[in-house]
């Protein structure tokens, strides 16, 4: 089975993932990252990780139009499908 990734609110094969050449993060190295540990295929403290992720994005003055809570369920579902 090909590796999967979550991109633009959808699970895709890694071979279909791509970044536009004009993407600011690609051109200038902007980015926010958060690592999540799993125990028995269950993400540990996912809510806290997502809170931290969105707080970091706010420090970059990125517009977070959608609150982090909306991403919790899709993130868990995506992560379960990928592992």
Asked whether residue 48 carries a pLDDT value surpassing 80, the answer given is yes
Domain count, the chain: 1
| Cα(69)–Cα(12) distance, integer angstroms | 22
Q: What digits encode the pLDDT tens for the residues 8-40? A: 777 788 899 888 888 877 888 877 888 888 888
Q: Which residues contact 64 (CB under 8 A, 6 or more apart)?
A: 54, 57, 58
- Can you give the residue range of the structural domain that contains 19? 4-82
Query: Which CATH number does the domain housing residue 30 bear?
Result: 3.30.470.10
pLDDT of residue 42: 82
């Amino acid at each position: 089975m090909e590796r999967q990734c979550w991109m633009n609110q959808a699970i895709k094969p890694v071979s279909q993932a791509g970044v536009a050449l004009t993407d600011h993060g690609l051109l200038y190295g902007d980015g926010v990252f958060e690592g999540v540990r799993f125990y028995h295929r269950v993400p540990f403290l996912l809510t806290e990780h997502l809170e931290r992720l969105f707080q970091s994005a706010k420090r970059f003055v990125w517009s977070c139009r959608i609150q982090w809570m909306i991403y919790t369920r899709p993130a868990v579902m995506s992560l379960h499908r990928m592992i």
